[in-house]
């Protein structure tokens, strides 16, 4: 199938940012993430001409899989999950350089075989390659993989012009502050910080990246981006789905660990950070860490800053669905939260007194992720609601998924002989402006890691700062068990406790 022409708005843009000859090694190569995201990402980067000519893909896993079978599994994953249909000619170029190495994650000899395999690739092409190790495995084997990359010499591999071996580490990055500190200590014993790419796929989404552009490339926003003009900020990451077959995992995680501590905190950091001194990885990450450190400790008492709940039976898309405690693999007395809401206060000059509300949950009214900036209302001297005018607060919202784009709510006059007002929404959508075939987040992140751009990845101290804020919450909830656990019907927008969190400041949740 012929590749469709690029959208007119994309014509003339550079298609390559200089990735050197590269070997990407995926640990956990037979896993779900590899099939759904990583293999399709590599394929689409190849179709877009963004992979170096000397690019090699190596799968690594415990299960012994012949090279031909691994290539077949990879092509099937592309057919099922890629945003593009499989083109045999495009795939053939990758397949010719795709192999598999079997071995345990705690088996030093297997890592020596992997090192010899990469050395064989270099000998075959007559030049050195940089290595990018993608750890797509359960967290329990992060440590052994990292240690064996060090013991085998793979972590210290260096190619000229500053291209060292690199490692991408999937979430969850620890379960609390102590485990995050331990994991960072393991990493630092093997890799330098500039070699490490802690991934949060939300940072690869187009609208999240566009947040920086909207803030700092448009003069109309930054002068208003402060406590003088903004009333509150709401960040919502809602899912329609329940835990499904992942009950065993979710029982050990819960909403706070699964969504709030990582995804929503990254969105908050980009929303609230100060302008960086340059569009460079360390400058941006420095500002993210500063704003996270300015967040005040949470009040965990009654009427405080946190709310948690579990979904009970309800209706989703007109179909009855069970409650969390009736799901497969869930303990009947489980105290794992499927919903969490947090009110954060940032103690700095820009945001003093502006509440940041975060919420995430499963089995909610619909799937949506958005950042809503709620501006203060103008004085009601001309158009007062008491005089019958229909007014709404100006709200700028960034829709991260499923319909990527942004919208602005304004008040306008209704045509007619009387002065009547009505809120209207001005919207921009990526799909209608730039075409619908938007790159997946993992494509951008894998490419950035290859070329050494850490802008969209999490630094070690950033992860630790976030866990420092939320570990006391997790400890308090663990001690309380089910005491204080709220409930909400599947298909709703959450529990009464989540609404009360805002009501105490005179606010309401926005319904996206």
Q: Which residues contact 52 (CB under 8 A, 6 or more apart)?
A: 19, 20, 21, 22, 450
Sheet strands (E) in 313-392: 314-316, 319-321, 339-345, 355-361, 368-375
CA-wise closest residue to 458 among 295, 287, 290, 285? 285
Cβ atoms of 230 and 356 within 8 Å: the answer is no
117 is an active site residue: no
Whole-angstrom Cα distance, residue 164 to residue 480? 47
User: Residue 289: enclosing H or E segment and its boundaries?
Assistant: helix 281-293
Cβ atoms of 10 and 434 within 8 Å: the answer is yes
User: How many CA atoms lie less than 13 Å away from 223 in the CB half-sphere?
Assistant: 3
Beta partners for residue 315, in sequence order = 320
Cβ atoms of 272 and 288 within 8 Å: the answer is no
Which three-class secondary structure state does DSSP give residue 167? strand
- Report CA 342 to chain centroid distance, whole Å: 18
- Report CA 370 to chain centroid distance, whole Å: 12
User: Residue 61: enclosing H or E segment and its boundaries?
Assistant: strand 55-61
- From the candidates 163, 164, 263, 507, which is the catalytic residue? 263
Whole-angstrom Cα distance, residue 185 to residue 183? 5
Q: Which residues contact 233 (CB under 8 A, 6 or more apart)?
A: 268, 271, 272, 354, 355, 356, 357, 371, 372, 373, 374
CA-wise closest residue to 406 among 269, 208, 201, 234? 208
Instruction: For residue 434, count CB atoms less than 10 angstroms from its CB and return exposed for 0-12, middle for 13-18, buried for 19 or more.
Output: middle
Whether omega for the bond prior to residue 429 falls within 30 degrees of 0, making it cis, is no
User: How many CA atoms lie less than 13 Å away from 357 in the CB half-sphere?
Assistant: 26
Residues marked active site are found at 263
């Amino acid at each position: 199938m012929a590749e469709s022409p690029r959208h007119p708005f994309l014509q003339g843009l550079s298609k390559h940012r200089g990735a050197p000859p590269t070997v990407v090694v995926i640990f956990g190569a037979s896993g779900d993430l590899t099939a759904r995201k990583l293999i399709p990402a590599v394929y689409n980067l190849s179709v877009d001409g963004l992979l170096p000519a000397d690019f090699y893909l190596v799968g690594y896993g415990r299960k012994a899989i012949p090279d031909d079978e691994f290539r077949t599994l990879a092509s099937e994953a592309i057919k099922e999950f890629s945003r593009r249909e499989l083109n045999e000619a495009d795939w053939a170029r990758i397949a010719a350089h795709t192999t598999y190495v079997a071995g345990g994650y705690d088996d030093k000899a297997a890592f020596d075989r992997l090192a010899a395999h990469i050395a064989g690739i270099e000998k075959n092409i007559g030049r050195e390659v940089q290595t990018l190790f993608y750890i797509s495995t359960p967290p329990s084997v992060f440590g052994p993989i990292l240690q064996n990359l060090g013991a085998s010499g793979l972590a210290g591999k260096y190619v000229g012009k500053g291209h060292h071996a690199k490692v991408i580490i999937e979430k969850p990055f620890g379960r609390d502050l102590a485990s995050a500190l331990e994991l960072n200590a393991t990493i630092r014993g093997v890799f330098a910080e500039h070699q490490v790419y802690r991934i949060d796929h939300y940072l690869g989404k187009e609208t999240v990246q566009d947040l920086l552009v909207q803030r700092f490339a448009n003069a109309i926003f930054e002068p208003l981006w402060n406590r003088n003009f903004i009333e509150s900020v709401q960040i919502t990451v809602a899912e329609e789905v329940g835990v499904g077959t992942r009950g065993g995992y979710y029982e050990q995680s819960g909403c706070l660990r699964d969504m709030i501590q990582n995804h929503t905190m990254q969105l908050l950091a980009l929303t609230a950070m100060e302008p960086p001194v340059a569009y460079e990885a360390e400058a941006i990450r420095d500002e993210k860490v500063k704003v996270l450190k300015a967040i005040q400790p949470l009040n965990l008492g009654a009427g405080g800053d946190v709310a948690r709940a579990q979904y009970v039976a309800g209706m989703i898309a007109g179909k009855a669905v069970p409650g969390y405690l009736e799901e497969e693999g869930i303990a009947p007395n489980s105290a794992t939260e499927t919903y969490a809401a947090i009110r954060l206060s940032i103690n700095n000059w820009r945001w003093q007194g502006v509440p940041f509300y975060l919420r995430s949950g499963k089995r909610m009214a619909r799937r949506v992720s958005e950042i809503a900036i709620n501006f203060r209302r103008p004085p009601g001297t001309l158009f007062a609601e008491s005089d019958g005018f229909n007014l709404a607060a100006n709200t700028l919202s960034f829709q991260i998924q499923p319909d990527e784009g942004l919208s602005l709510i304004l008040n306008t006059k209704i045509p007619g002989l009387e002065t009547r007002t009505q809120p209207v929404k001005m919207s921009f959508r990526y799909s209608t402006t730039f075409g619908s075939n938007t790159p997946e987040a993992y494509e951008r992140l894998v490419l950035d890691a290859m070329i050494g751009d850490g802008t969209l990845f999490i630094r070690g101290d950033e992860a630790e700062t976030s866990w420092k804020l939320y570990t006391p919450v997790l400890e308090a909830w663990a001690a309380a068990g089910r005491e204080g656990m709220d409930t909400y019907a599947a298909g709703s927008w959450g529990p009464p406790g989540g609404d009360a969190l805002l009501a105490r400041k005179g606010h309401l949740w926005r319904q996206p």
